[in-house]
Structure formats: structure tokens, C-alpha cells
Structure 1
Amino acid sequence: MTQVLTASQMRAVEKAAIDSGQVTGLALMERAGRGVVDAIFDEWPDLAKTSFRAVVLCGPGNNGGDGFVVARLLKQRGWQVDVFLFGDPDRLPADARQNYANWQNLGTTQAWNDKAIKERLDASDHDLVVDALFGTGLTRAMPDDTTQTLHAILPRVLNVHPSERPKYVAVDIPSGLCSDSGRNLGGAWPADLTVSFHCAKVGHVLAPQGPPQGGAPWCGRVVVHDIGLDPRPVKGAARICAPLTSALAKAPTGHKYSHGHALILSGPSAKTGAARLAARGALRIGAGLVTLGCPNEALAESAAHMTAIMLAQIGDTGALDAVLKDERINALCLGPGFGIERACAYVPPILSSGRATVLDADALSALSQRPALMAGLHEHTVLTPHAGEFARLFPDIAERLQGAVSKGPAYSKVDATRDAAKRARCVVLFKGPATVIAAPDGHCAINPANTQHAAPWLATAGAGDVLAGFVTGLLARGFAPMQAAQTAVWLHTACARAFGPGLIAEDLPELLPQVLRDIGA
């Protein structure tokens, strides 16, 4: 899996490389600037065919140094380049100051001046804007004069047809965003393309519920350029979700019982649909057997919809205890369409069984209404809350996550999910446009929702029930909770992307065979 880094983790990787003598800071800056130019021409090949006009906005740190490299390289290709510096050139860091001097041999740098910049940024007068102002190191809102200038541009940009407006490129991350959380510290403006280095940053992949909670819509397409740093994993870094492909394939010598038996508990009559979706998902993802446990009055209703999924009459906790005497049942799912009051009664015996368990929907509401039930959670449990359920389960954590932010590093969805998992002592799968999964030991995976990975069609009734079934089926197959959760989330998204517009929850399990074939499982 690909790791994503915080600003401090990235600085540590760079420092280790420089301190070891492997590379100089100046060389890293040159590689970064060249990476930006290469990414621009890869994204818009027509810009490489002839000379155009660019405006490069440089800041007072190393991000500005990258900008001077970009300006020099474009100038050497015959471009007309206007460079503006926010700050004093004499106070630039050493490497950035050297690249400022290198640029000065080719062109001039204009001091930050709102009026002059606005004149240069006339939509009909240039083809490219490069934001090299503040990058990943920003820990506060942008200064008022930079914010006022950039936001004066936006109405003009938004009112111009995309084919006519200039391309906006951010170096590392759009200025104003916190790279550790994707949250807008103040003054952020959107980019068409963001070019980062070595690894994506956490802020690139955390999508918002709506600005300013996250960074993905601000970043446009995110490209990561290799600048030759140590590729080994960074301790404590979050990772991008990926399927455990090797474990998804079924052994040729196996049989149904060797792939586990999942029990999905259903709600009463007229409320069985959610559990049926979960059961279908568990069976499609490879559980050897799946049983739907229903109250007596719901048996006929469920039987009319299912063939390969077995039925068991479970109308009370006594019946549940009897069914659980079958030790071949090794994974449980409680919550979809179940009813909160009933869930309050069923959670204790489910958890005390010690089996791998997914608690979703009404089971999560039961935990939030009766916090004492949280004491029964164990390491084989997976909680799957959406934002509202998360806020009810962990109100103090959610309040911190949703609070106003004015400085960085800002508290992120990664931080919140890790804190929740540690408190609950089990895996927490925090759903949303970007889904974050964390284990009590701090291991964390992110399923991003930026432009390359978005699956907006999952915003449909029942999609979460199918996901709960996917996780349950993988637990039945013997996946560890963290592995089951992140593999299920990845496959869930892949199914949605394979279908596209018009998706409904029933489609998701039916897309799994094709998705599994495509990844060689």
C-alpha cells in the first residue's frame, strides 16, 4: 500500500536524506521544480508545443524556492514568465535564495503588489498560474494581502469557460490548506493540478463534507513526483487502502466450511432489506456460507428473496444463543434494519461470544444510547459509523474534528479515527467521501475521495449495508479485522466505479465478480 505523510514526517524523510549525504537540499529543490514542469506538460500536452505565458507566485520559504526553479525552466523553454515574491529575498532559506539568484540571471522578480498581480492575472493575458506560496509548512491562515489578491482572481476564473481560463497549478498543496488534514486554514484557492513530492500528503486525500473540512476538492488532480528519497515505509504513516489480493483467491482444495460461515441478523417484517443486502454482500465476497437470522414473522418475506443464503429463526436472544452453539459460525453482523431497542438486547451476547463481529447502523445507535455496552467491545470487532453515528458514539472527538480551525497542524479525520479506535479497543471504519479505518494500535488506512478515486454514486440507500456485509464476509474467511475493513472498503469503491451513474445498492455485490477478476483474485 502507498503511504501518505504529514508535513513533519515529510520533513524528517528529507532531513535524513540530507544529513546522510545522499542528496543536498538544492538538488531536492531542483528535482521538485522539474517534477512540476514535467507534470504540467503531461497534464496539458499542448502547453509543451510552443511558448506561453505564466505567472509564478513565490512565497518566503522552500515552496517559493521550488517556484523559482519552475520559473527558470519555463523561461528556458521560451515562455514569458512573470514572477512575484511575497517576502524579502534576503530572508529566503539558503537553497531558495540560491534558486532566486539563478532565476534573476534570466528574469526579474517583482515584489508582491496586489494591483500589479491582478493586472498580470487577467484571464486573457496568460496561460498558467503556479502557486508556490506556502506549501505543506503552513500552520496559520495566509496573510491578508495574499488572500485578498488570490480571492480577487476567483470570480474572474469561475466566470470564464474552462477551455479559456488559465491553468492553476499548486506546488505540493494549494496555499492555505493544512497538509495534515486538508482543512482550510484561511485563504485557500482551488487548483486544477497539484504536484506533490515523494508521497501524497494526508490533506490531499481527506475529502470534505463541504468546504472547508477537507482538501480534496481544492487540489484538483494530484500527481506525486519521485525526487529520489528513501522509499521505505515511515513509522506511523497512514496508508492508502488496497485489497489483500492474494488472500481473496480461494484455494483449489478448499470447501465451503473452510471459507467461514457468516451470520447476519435481520430486522422484523418489512425491515429485512438492509440485512438481506449485507448477506448478499457477505456471500459474494467469498464467505462459504451465510445465514440470515430473522424473527419468525420475517422468515417468509426473506425466503421469497433468497436462494443461496440460508435462514434461521432468531426471534430473541435465547434463540441466538442456540444458533451460536454451532462453532462453525465465525463471523457476525448486527445492526442493518435491526431496530435500536432490539439491538440493545442483542449486543451483549453477540460480543460475549468473542466471534469476529461487525456492528453497524442500529447496533451503533444502541452503543451510543447505552455507553455501558462499549465495555464489551473486543479486538475482533469492527465498528462502521458514518459521520452522524460517529458523533453520537464519540461526541468529544467529533466536536474537536468539526470545530473551527485557524492554525495547523489541524485535527484531522485520521486523528479522530485513531483516537476512536484506541478508546473503543477495536477497529473503527469511519465512513464518508473519504473513509478512514484505524486499529487500536494506531495503524490507519484511508480510502481517498479525490478526483482519481471518487465514487459519488455510493451516496445511495443501502450502500453501507452492503459494505457491512463485505466486511463480515471477509472476517468469516479469516481476514484480520483491519485487513477485512480496508479490503472491503476498496472493493466497495471499485464496484461503484465499475458501475458508475445510476448505481443502487443491489448492484454492488453483482459487480464483485468482475472486480475480483480484474485484480487477479
Structure 2
Amino acid sequence: MIIVTTRQMQQMDKNTIESFGIPGRVLMENAGRGAIEMLSEHFDLEGARVAVVAGRGNNGGDGFVIGRYLMEMGVSVSFFLLSTRDRVQGDAGANMDLILDLLAEHALSQFIEIPDKDALEAVTEILLDHDLFVDAIFGTGLNADVRGIYRDVIELINDSDKAVFSVDIPSGINADTGAVCGVAIRADATATFAFAKAGHILYPGNFHTGDLEVVDIGIPGHIAKAQSPHIFLPEPHDIAGLIPARAFNAHKGSFGHLLVLAGSPGKTGAAALCANAAMRSGAGLVTLGVPEKLMPVMEPMVVEPMTTALAQTSSGGLDAAALDDIITLLADKAALALGPGMGTDSGTQELIKSILAIASVPMVIDADGLNCIAKNPDILATVKAPVILTPHPGEMARLTGKTTADIQQNRMETARNFAEKQKVILVLKGAQTLVAYPDGAVFICPTGNPGMACGGMGDVLTGMIAAFLAQDLSPESAALAGVYLHGLCGDLLAEDHAFGFSASDMVAGIPQALTTLLS
């Protein structure tokens, strides 16, 4: 599914009106007509009393079109304008005038202006005496906190526990970030126009949207395609198509040899989880390189992956002295996973700097690998091979010099800007993990759940993505497939356990997730 930003949608509307001569009023009519179809499918309108609560902009105009169709269907409709009639202009004003002309013929309908709090207090009882609210207060252009009577009305509607149908987006949701602008409608269903918006998909906007349906309003296809970069919500068939079928005569050499560099004292589990996840995700061979003194601990923890001892720092992490051995190891490898539990000693930092400058195979960098890069971000400019970075918000904050709160406030722009600037693929982990490409495209992962909020999950993800790299998927496809499958694995576990499952459970569940996806 393609998702667009507010700016892109506004540009598409503008281009359609100016280049094709399709009037804005026709687009508004198409929007209202499509929305009424969804409204009729989702709610029982027989005998229902419907309140169309409208702002004075185009979102209100869409609401007027919906209300007009309801009137023609014989439904009892009341219109509540959160302004005065004289302030409603343009296409919205024209559709409001149609409503006013029709009122004389529809005894069941009324039109009430609510310009201020006094007016709201006078009609609150009337407003709440309805079965269904059509929310047409704010559209996708909202970017400031909701105040005044708008806030009061939204709170009244939410507190009423009546059914709510939102037009384009629940009023109060930022269409680009999903953030609540002070207060926002909690809708049971939302009809959006032309394309879904990021605010419908991203938390917390997704929890306010309810059932979402996209209404075709007549935007020409080539105008839509001209808007880039796009945001995407991948669907199961999209991901299944990324994973190549296995030939009957395939062997372990057909699916790549992955090198994993990970582990330090106290973090052996990170290394084991990463290597084992890679095996479960289909890598033909996995070699795990760990600090030499960890070998007696690591070997019982990994059965299928091979292990090799490497030079270590005084505190037990991988050291720069291991570089020559690592170069030799990389000679026949298809991909590299770097970072889980490695530590951040100066020797480890120097090692990572050297690997980035020398390695020619695609790589995934996570955890301490990211923390080492954060101490010297300029080293990303020396990279010769494709790089996938997989930070959680805290690691992303260290990479960018921002706070975690800054990162979380606008995850999508943060991920996109970093990927474009550094020419890397960025996987920004969290609720609805984002995969950002260097060309500006961003994918929002629809899989995953809160039960996955525990230690080791990122190590598993690193192994999964690296395994797909080893199997010769493009770096973009490997990142996307790994993230989606990782979340799907968690979702399958959550069917039996809401939480309490572990990263080791995830590793064991990867084959079932693959089977589910490919079936």
C-alpha cells in the first residue's frame, strides 16, 4: 500500500485541478460519495440519528456532501458547524449552501452554528442526542494543538461513547506523524481519500483511526506516481515475493556463508542469538567470530554455526589486532553481521573503523557496532559496501546527537533524513519499525507487538537480516524481509502468549513464520 504525506496529497489535488481542469468541487463530491458507501457498510443507518460535526474548511465540505447523501437516503441528519456560515468559503461553502437549500424539504434535519463556548453549552444536549457522529472538523492539514470549542467538542464526542465515522482522518491527528495534537477523535472507522496517510498507520494515530478504507476520488494515476519519495506499508505478498524459491538440487553453498562478529564478557547471549537466528532464517553457513577467551562459553551455545577465536581487548571485547584474521575470514563470505554485544573499547572502535573501510561484502551493524560508530560518525563516509544500520531509538539518538524524545517525535523524518544523508539503509526499531532507503523511500512495518519488548530481540533481527543478505537478497530487500518476518514471528508467538516469550523463543519460531509467510 502506498502512503502519502500531507504535502504530497495537497500537490496531487492541485495538479489534478490545474492540469486536468477537474474542479475541486468534483473531487469533494467524489470524496463524499465514496465515504457514504463506506459509512453505509459499517453502520446501521436505519432509524439512526446522525450528527455531522463540521469545521469551516474543506473537511467540513466533505462532511456536508456526506450529510446531503444521508438526507437523500431519508436518514435523520443534524449539521453542527463549529463556526458561522459566513466564514465557510469556496467549495465547502457551496456544499453548505446546498444543505441549507434542502433543509426546508427535510423535516428530520437541522443546521446549528456553534461559533463559541456559549453556543456550545446551549446545544450540548442536542448534540449528544445522536447515535452516530460524522467527524468532519479537521482534515490532514492540522499541525497545531486543538484548542477552544474544537477541543471541547472532540472531548464531548469521545466521552459520549457513540459511534464515530471520521472523514479523511480523525480530527486532531497529525497526518504526517500520527501524533495527537492535544486531543483527537477516537473513530470507529475512517474513510480517507486517494491514499492512506502516515498518520493513519503510525502510533498513536492508528489507534484513533479504527477501520480504514481508501476512497478513489479521481486523481489521475500519473499524477500520483509523480509524487516521490513514497511511503509504503508492505503486505504479505510483497514480502513473500522477496524470498527466492529453493531449487531442488540446492546445497548449503547455495545460500551463502555469513560471518558474525559479536560478543564480549556478559554478552555472549547476543552473539549466540544472532548466529542462531541467521541459521534459522536460511543462511547456508554461519561462522561466529568471538573474543578468544569466550570460546569455551560460546561453543555449547551454538551448535550449527561454526566458531572462531579472535584477538581481544584487555576487557574482553574484540580488538583491532583481530583485523588480519577477519580480512581472511571475509574472503569467502557473502555477508557480515557486526556489533551484538561487542563492547565499545577503544580497540573495538578501531576495529570497526577498519572493517568499514576495508570490507567489500554487504553488512548489518547493530548494538555496540552502532555505539562505536556514534563516537565517530564520519567513518560512515569511508564505507565501500552496502550497509544496513539497525538502531533502536536510544542508539539513533547517539548516532544523531539528538535526544531519544527528539527521535520519537518524528521517527519517519529522522529515519529518512539519516538514510539519505549517510547513504545507508536504516532500520529504526520500535513500535512499527521503519525501513528507510537512501533514495528517500520509507517502509512502515505492520507486524510486531508489545510482547517483543525484551532483551535480545534486536540481536535476533540482526541475524535474520544478515541471513537474507547472505542468500543474495539486495540490501533493501534483506532489510525489509528481515524486519517484516521478525515482527510476524512475534505475532505468531503472541497468539499463544501475550507477553513473556523470549528472544530464544523467537529464534525457534522463525521457520514457522517463514512457512506462514510463504504459504
Structure 1 contact 51–78 (Cα < 8 Å) conserved? no
> What are the superposed Cα offsets for residues 460-481 of structure 1, whole Å, 9 maximum, x if unpaired?
2211111111111111122222
For 1:96 and 1:265, the matched residues in 2 are separated by 61
Matches within 5 A, 1:300-311: 300-311=296-307
For 2:253 and 2:512, the matched residues in 1 are separated by 24
For 2:242 and 2:444, the matched residues in 1 are separated by 20
For 1:367 and 1:391, the matched residues in 2 are separated by 12
- 1:126 is matched with which residue? 130
1:258 aligned onto 2:254: yes
Offset at 1:347? 0.8
The number of equivalent residue pairs is 489
SS at match of 2:169: coil
- 1:148 is matched with which residue? 152
Structure 1 runs of 4+ off > 6 angstroms?
none
Structure 1: 5+ residue stretches without partners: 158-164, 208-213, 404-411
Structure 2 contact 157–185 (Cα < 8 Å) conserved? no
For 1:465 and 1:430, the matched residues in 2 are separated by 14
> What are the superposed Cα offsets for residues 182-203 of structure 1, whole Å, 9 maximum, x if unpaired?
2233443332322212211122
Q: Which amino acid letter does the alignment assign opposite residue 344 of structure 1?
A: Q
Matches within 5 A, 1:401-420: 401=407, 412-420=410-418
- 1:7 is matched with which residue? 6
CA distance 1:314–1:43, shift in 2 (3 Å): farther
2:387 to 381, 385, 388: 381
Offset at 1:166? 0.7
- 1:286 is matched with which residue? 282
- 1:325 is matched with which residue? 328
2:507 to 506, 509, 512: 509
Which structure has the higher relative contact order (CA within 8 Å, separation 6+)? 1
- 2:342 is matched with which residue? 338
Offset at 1:398? 6.0
CA distance 1:454–1:304, shift in 2 (3 Å): closer
Offset at 1:402? 5.8
- 1:428 is matched with which residue? 426
Matches within 5 A, 1:483-494: 483-494=477-488
For 1:190 and 1:37, the matched residues in 2 are separated by 19
- 1:443 is matched with which residue? 441
For 1:358 and 1:343, the matched residues in 2 are separated by 16
- 1:225 is matched with which residue? 215
Q: Which amino acid letter does the alignment assign opposite residue 368 of structure 2?
A: D
- 1:27 is matched with which residue? 26
Matches within 5 A, 1:190-269: 190-207=186-203, 214-231=204-221, 233=225, 234-242=227-235, 243-252=238-247, 253-269=249-265
1:114 aligned onto 2:120: yes
Which structure has more helix as a fraction of its residues? 2
Structure 2 contact 33–65 (Cα < 8 Å) conserved? yes
CA distance 1:506–1:75, shift in 2 (3 Å): farther
- Root-mean-square deviation (CA, aligned residues, Å) is 2.6
The TM-score, its normalising length taken from structure 2, stands at 0.86
- 1:347 is matched with which residue? 352
1:181 aligned onto 2:177: yes
Q: Which amino acid letter does the alignment assign opposite residue 136 of structure 1?
A: T
Between the aligned residues of both structures, percent identity stands at 34
- 2:54 is matched with which residue? 58
- 1:75 is matched with which residue? 71
CA distance 1:378–1:61, shift in 2 (3 Å): farther
CA distance 1:269–1:139, shift in 2 (3 Å): closer
